[in-house]
Structure 1
Amino acid sequence: MTGDDGRSGARRRGRGELEAAVLAALWAADGPVPAAVVQEGVGGDTAYTTVLTILTRLCAKGVVRRERAGRGHVYAPVRTEAEQAAAGMHTLLDGGGDRAEVLARFVSDLSDEDEALLERLLHGEFPETDAGAGHRGGPDAP
Structure 2
Amino acid sequence: MKDLGELEAEVMDRLWAATEYLSVRDLVDRLGESKRLAYTTVLTVVTHLHEKGWVEREKRQRAYYYQPSRSRRDAVAASIRELLMQSPDALGALEAFAATLSKAEYDAVQRGWEQRGDQPTS
Q: Would you call these one fold, judging by a TM-score over 0.5? A: yes
Q: AA paired with 2:98? A: V
Counterpart Cα distance in 2 of 1:90 and 1:117:
16
What TM-score do the two structures reach when normalised by structure 1?
0.71
Give the unaligned 5+ runs of structure 1. Answer: 1-14, 125-135, 138-142
| 1:21 lines up with 2:5 in the alignment | no
Q: AA paired with 1:27? A: W
Counterpart Cα distance in 2 of 1:100 and 1:114:
18
Give the unaligned 5+ runs of structure 2. Answer: 118-122
Q: Runs of 4 or more off by more than 6 Å in structure 1?
A: none
Counterpart Cα distance in 2 of 1:101 and 1:42:
40
How far off is 1:116 after superposition?
2.7
More helix by share: 2
Query: What's the RMSD between the two structures over aligned residues?
Result: 1.9
> Corresponding residue for 1:30?
19
Q: Which has the larger radius of gyration?
A: 1
Counterpart Cα distance in 1 of 2:107 and 2:48:
38
SS of 2:22's partner is: coil
Q: AA paired with 1:92? A: L
How far off is 1:106 after superposition?
1.5
What TM-score do the two structures reach when normalised by structure 2?
0.81
How far off is 1:60 after superposition?
0.9
Number of residues of Structure 1 aligned to a counterpart in Structure 2: 112
CA deviation string 1:52-91 (max 9, x = no partner)? 1110111111111122111111111100111111111111
Counterpart Cα distance in 1 of 2:108 and 2:18:
28
- Distance 1:30-1:93 versus aligned 2 partners, 3 A rule: same
